[in-house]
Structures are given as structure tokens and as C-alpha cells.
Amino acid sequence: MRVLFAADGWEKWAPAISAACPEAELLQTAPPDSVDAIIYAPNGPGCDFAAYPSAKLVQGLWAGVDQIVPDSSLTQPLARMVEPGLERGMVEYCTGWALRLHLGMDRFAQDGVWRNDMAPPLATRRKVTVLGAGALGQAVARALAALDFDVATWSRSGEGAPGIPAFSGPEMEQALSRAEILIALLPDTPETRNILNAERLALLPRGASIINPGRGTLIDDAALLSALNSRYLRHAVLDVFRTEPLPPFDPYWSHPGVTVTPHIASETRVETAALVVAENLRRVMRGETPLHLVDRSKGY
């Protein structure tokens, strides 16, 4: 099996994938009619998928596929990356920040003032809503539920993690109106862009906080800043933005109600992701359906 590697990071990916799937011949260039599969990420040299008609799979190395799906040259099946390291990283980021916001850890200024009237409620009394119930959203919801938070998810389909309340598309208002902490883990699609606009932000309880490690396009930035300026919302932890790196003079950097993190919530771990790539390559060799195929009509 000949596999074209069209992504950045050949030096780290090639040894890991070759070790996980030695029966695959990994190449950086190859005659178009000899390629059986393509490993791809948008940060690489680019790829004209139409030039490789014999490829039976395009295996993405990122969880997000919004930069791949619109490519009109892509006709092959596309698989997104779902792997344990990426999932674990997202769980740790979201639970860490949810706990910090829940406990109000940033309220305790080290200024000699004894503020013992600021004890938070227990997690059982804190309502958290996770927007998005894919692999990452479900994993985050399960982790928060294990810490005894009152968790629910929202997705277009209403599918969610077993044992955790799940709202469906028409129930957005109910999902938001309960969310003292809102975690946004939706994909970037035409339907989700600016899904958190002024109207929907106003549905959140007064004093709610937002964590967005999903996509920068999910939030109407002007509406969020307005809600923070009026102190209707308490805080926003933002890891993703429409423009990255976030420009130095963007108002988010200096806003007291915003914490900016530089797109570090989670990343693909080569050592675990290589095993996922190997499994899908073997499935292609056996004529089986690859894992984590993207429905391009939905955009994820």
C-alpha cells in the first residue's frame, strides 16, 4: 500500500506511522495513479486531491475538518482524527477551567483581605452545558459528571453521552438558560457560525461564564464583549479565534473578563494518533469502512 504524506511534520510522523503500520509505504511524492491513501493536514504543502483518483481514503491529522471539507477537488472518503491523546487533552483543559471558574479561584486577590464569605457551592449545584456532543463533547461531559457537576449536552441531533441529559436542536434555549458554565465544542459549519450571538448570550443566566476551545467562529465577538462590558456575563476563557495568532491589540487581550489561551486546549499526539492512522490504513487494505468518516453534507 502506497500512502502519500501531505502534511507538516514528516520527521516526527513518518517514523511513528511506519512503526505502527510497517506494511504501508509512506511517501512524500508519488505518481498519482499509484497512491492508495493520503494522510493530510492543512498546515502542509497542500494537495490536489483530484490528482490522486486511485486513493481510497484521505486521513486527516486534525480533529477539525472545516478547512478540508470545502475543497472541491476532494472526492475521496475523508476521515477526521479521533484519538485518545487529543481527547484527553481536551478533557483536561475543559475540566481544569470549569473547576477554576466554579471555585472562583481568581477572586481571591493576595492583598491581605480575608474573604471567607465567598465559598462556592458544591459542584452538584453548578449547572454546566456542553455545546457539541461528538467524541470530544461527550468525553468532557462524562469527566464533569464524574466530578458531580450538573451536566447536560446540546447537539443538533440530541444524541449525547449515556446517562447525561441531552438537548436537541430545537431545545437550544433550554440548554443555554441553565448554563452557569457554557463549554463550546461545536464544529465550524455554516449553521454554527455566530451561534452564540447577542440573542443567545442573553439566554445564559446572569453571571455565567463561557469556555470556548471549539472554534473561534462560534461566538459573535462584539456581542460577547458587550455582554462582558455590561457584566451580564462574568468571564470568558477563549482558546480559539477567527484570526490566529490573535493580534496583539485585539480587545480580548486587555479585557478583565477574558482569559486568552493560545490554541493549546488540545492537540494531536503523534504517538497515539499514529495508531489510529494505522488502523484506518489497514481497513482500507482489507476493503473495510474506515473509522471516523466525515459527513460532508453536515461538515463534520
Contact 207, 233 (CB under 8 A): yes
How far is it, in rounded angstroms, from Cα 141 to Cα 211? 13
Report helix, strand or coil for 200.
helix
What residues act catalytically?
A: 215, 263
Tens of pLDDT, residues 49-64 = 999 999 999 999 999 9
C-alpha cell read off for 54:
486511485
Nearest to 53 by CA among 38, 42, 69, 70: 38
How far is it, in rounded angstroms, from Cα 224 to Cα 202? 10
Nearest to 262 by CA among 241, 281, 282, 242: 241
Q: Which strand (E) or helix (H) includes residue 55?
A: none
Report helix, strand or coil for 17.
helix
Tens of pLDDT, residues 149-191 = 999 999 999 999 999 999 999 999 999 999 999 999 999 999 9
Tell me how far apart the terminal alpha carbons of the chain are, to the nearest angstrom.
27
C-alpha cell read off for 152:
447536560
Q: Is residue 32 very low, low, confident or very high in pLDDT (cuts 50, 70, 90)? A: confident
Q: What domains can be seen in the chain, in order of their start residue?
A: 2-83+268-298 (3.40.50.720), 86-260 (3.40.50.720)
Tens of pLDDT, residues 215-272 = 999 999 999 999 999 999 999 999 999 999 999 999 999 999 999 999 999 989 999 9
How far is it, in rounded angstroms, from Cα 6 to Cα 92? 30
Instruction: Give the pLDDT confidence score for residue 56 in this predicted structure.
Output: 97
Contact 83, 62 (CB under 8 A): no
How far is it, in rounded angstroms, from Cα 210 to Cα 179? 9
How far is it, in rounded angstroms, from Cα 295 to Cα 67? 14
How far is it, in rounded angstroms, from Cα 155 to Cα 94? 18
Q: Is residue 71 very low, low, confident or very high in pLDDT (cuts 50, 70, 90)? A: very high
Instruction: Give the pLDDT confidence score for residue 91 in this predicted structure.
Output: 98
Residue 47, C-beta contacts closer than 8 angstroms, at least 6 positions apart: 4, 6, 38, 40
Q: Which strand (E) or helix (H) includes residue 3?
A: strand 2-6
Contact 83, 273 (CB under 8 A): yes
Instruction: Give the pLDDT confidence score for residue 82 in this predicted structure.
Output: 95
Q: Is residue 100 very low, low, confident or very high in pLDDT (cuts 50, 70, 90)? A: very high
Residue 143, C-beta contacts closer than 8 angstroms, at least 6 positions apart: 91, 94, 95
How far is it, in rounded angstroms, from Cα 52 to Cα 35? 6
Once rounded to an integer, what is the mean pLDDT over residues 35-48? 95
User: In which residue are the cell numbers 482558546 written?
Assistant: 239
Once rounded to an integer, what is the mean pLDDT over residues 192-216? 98
Tens of pLDDT, residues 112-155 = 999 888 889 999 999 999 999 999 999 999 999 999 999 999 99
Integer CA distances (angstroms), 87 to 4, 57, 110, 136, 266, in order: 26, 23, 35, 6, 7
Please name every residue paired with 293 in a beta bridge, in sequence order, or none if there are none: 79
How far is it, in rounded angstroms, from Cα 140 to Cα 161? 10
- Virtual torsion, Cα 154, 156, 158, 161, nearest 10 deg: -60
pTM above 0.85, yes or no: yes
